[in-house]
Chains A and B, each alone.
Chain A
Amino acid sequence: MSGGFPEALHFSFADAVNRFVDWLVLAYGDQLRNVSDGLLQVLVGLENLLRLTPWWLLLVIVALMTWHASRSITRALVLSGLLFLIGVVGLWDKLLQTCALVLVSTGLCVLIGIPVGILLTSRPLARKLLMPVLDVMQTLPSFVYLIPVLMLFGLGKVPAIFATLIYALPPLIRLTELGLSQIDPSLTQAAHGLGASRWQRLRRVQLPLAMPSIMAGLNQSVMMALSMVVVASMIGARGLGEDVLAGIQTLNVGKGVEAGLAIVALAMVIDRISQAYGQVRRG
């Protein structure tokens, strides 16, 4: 089985990892579940808020946001029309659940991603250490970390958020870093010369200049969060992904297509709105 590779050099760390995960579950499982319950309250709260809002009001809000971002009435109508169609095929509640999941993961992405991006620009050592970590986060097959995360945080929405975070965070960090490092140094120096503090330089000069790049990163994060929806449903997170999964597993292609297109529609809505905001800032 091992081909020509010498037996003597075989070394497997699978057992050590198994023991480590088992130990983590025993030693920290209960504490981590408490953390998980806290996060769950936020998510369920948001979900219930979305549910309490009448459906037409949500459509109006989406239309207004689109109009505010892009100043285009056609676009506002088309996007809220897409969401309306999701409701028509009977996936409204699942849409809200997926939406809450994506919003919470994206919120966490921003909270973590932008500061880390700033850190990477200003600290070369951090950059060296974190870049390989980002590579791992983007390429490690998600089931490899999903199952241990599930054992620690419980089945359902919370491990789904963590999995989404691991997958969707890297583009935001990378593009924040890219945007900040492409700023002409003379501008920062000028601000320095005018007596701006470090914080003022960052807030007033660097972040606004890097905003198009950061918005592009955020947009990527949201798209990746949406693409994780089906994987998330494999660990018990409710939402549109569940229908895709059930559709595939029972060869009910129609059901899968309906839910799949609903995910695409949601992605388009979020994408167009967030991109439009990015362009407004640029202009």
Chain B
Amino acid sequence: MKPITTLLASALLALALIPSSHAADNSTPIHFGDITWESGSLTTEILRLIVEKGYGYPTDTLPGSTVSMEVALARNDIQVIGEEWAGRSPAWIKAEQAGQVFSIGDTVKNADEGWYVPAYVIKDLAPNLRSVADLKQYKAVFKDPESPDKGRFLNSPSGWTSETVNSQKLKAYGLHNDYVNFRSGSGAALDAEITSAIRRGKPVLFYYWSPTPLMGRFDLVRLEEPPFNAEAWQTLTDASHPHPQGTRSLPAKLSIGVSAPFKKDYPELVEFFTKVDLPIDTLNKTLAQMSEKREAPKEAALRFMRDNPNIWKAWLPAEIAGKVEASL
């Protein structure tokens, strides 16, 4: 899902972490991984606010790419990753088996990925478009200017795991002769192309995922796919499988990643992390506002906490919740 990181980024992170690795007294701040994608940075700031105001522990963040943060977590150079797509990267799986890291809770239920079209496309141009099987008859709607006899499916950039899955899905759904498998090159390019098409009210068919600002900003419809089937999923993740079978993607499980020493030293925080539950619609809406108003994640987190006290109070003991509320 997230682009696989470069060695360079890990090297930079390793440098950034040197000063933090020798200090263990009570005043040492809890280090959160500074996640750069929107939902991750918002979740991180919400957790930090509660940990600081409610529990009174100082916190700090350290930057890094996904894999380098997972490696840093295994070494306890950072203690918390606010949004962990557990089980997707080899670095994480290895550290989890070694008992160095734990994924706590199920923070965003119904996190999703799939193929989307804007709602207006179904309303105005493709009235019977419900599932991926209907795409064949509507290839003219999603015409690719580079090869006008085919439709264009906007895939994720080459190199993302989802790119393999989507390419295999195109074959599995029998669409590879009717649709150009258009890899978008980079996440920024994918976002820009979708936003531009929607702003101009043009049809666009693309791969996307949630929780993301785009999901909250626009009215998007996910095309139906066959129900999840583990065996078929294996054929989709293997780029060289000759006969892929269609299935919707493996449901994403988002949780909070913590290091083994953190789990031992802060049982009350682990208890709180277990209960964190961000409703996906509210989260998407908050992310959309954050992106539209170009708010800093910290401001967006404050606004989210002020506007939705019921959501976060349910995660906390009454006394702690009171302290957090007083600080807002």
Q: If A37-B145, A249-B157 touch, does A25 touch B189 (CB 8 Å cutoff)?
A: no
Judge whether B146 is part of the interface by a CB distance below 8 angstroms.
Answer: yes
Determine which of B184, B185, B195 lies in contact with A151 in the assembled complex, contact meaning CB atoms within 8 Å. B195
Given the known inter-chain contacts A44-B146, A155-B193, please indicate yes or no for A236 contacting B158, CB distance below 8 A: no
B199/A26 in contact, CB under 8 A: yes
A22-B158 CB under 8 A given contacts A40-B146, A44-B146, A236-B189: no
Contacts of A18-65 to chain B: CB distance below 8 A: 18, 22, 25-26, 29-30, 36-37, 40, 44
Looking at the complex, which one of B159, B182, B192 makes contact with A248 (CB distance below 8 Å)?
A: B159
Q: Is A242 an interface residue (CB 8 A)?
A: yes
Enumerate A228-253 residues with CB–CB distance to B below 8 Å. Answer: 233-237, 242, 245-246, 248-251
**Least CB distance, A117 to chain B, in whole angstroms:** 32
The answer to whether A25 and B159 touch (CB under 8 A), given A157-B146, A234-B186, is: no
Contact A246 B182 (CB under 8 A): no
A246 to B158 Cα, complex, angstroms: 5
Task: Please encode chain B, from 136 to 176, with 1 for each CB lying within 8 Å of some chain A CB and 0 for all others.
Answer: 00000000011100000010011110000000000000000
A22 to B160, CA, bound (A): 29
- A15 and B159 contact, CB distance less than 8 A: no
Q: By the criterion of a CB under 8 Å from any partner CB, how many residues of chain A are at the interface?
A: 34
A44 to B147, CA, bound (A): 9
B58 within 8 A of A: no
A154 proximity list for chain B (CB < 8 A): 145, 193, 196
Indicate if the CB atoms of A249 and B4 lie closer than 8 Å.
yes
Q: Mark B1-41, 1 if CB is under 8 A from A, else 0.
A: 00110110000000000000000000000000000000000
Any chain A CB within 8 A of the CB of B123? no
Which chain A positions have C-beta within 8 A of B145? 36-37, 40, 154, 156
B264 contacts partner chain A, Cβ-Cβ < 8 Å: no
How close is B305's CB to chain A, nearest CB, in angstroms? Answer: 22
> How distant is the Cα of A22 from the Cα of B294 in the complex, in angstroms?
14
The chain A residue with its CB closest to the CB of B195 is A151
Q: List 20 A-B contacts (CB under 8 A).
A: A15-B294, A18-B294, A22-B199, A25-B196, A25-B199, A29-B199, A40-B145, A150-B189, A150-B196, A154-B196, A155-B182, A155-B192, A157-B146, A236-B182, A236-B185, A245-B159, A245-B185, A248-B159, A249-B158, A250-B159
Which 5 residue pairs spanning A and B have beta carbons closest together? A249-B159, A246-B158, A151-B196, A155-B193, A234-B185
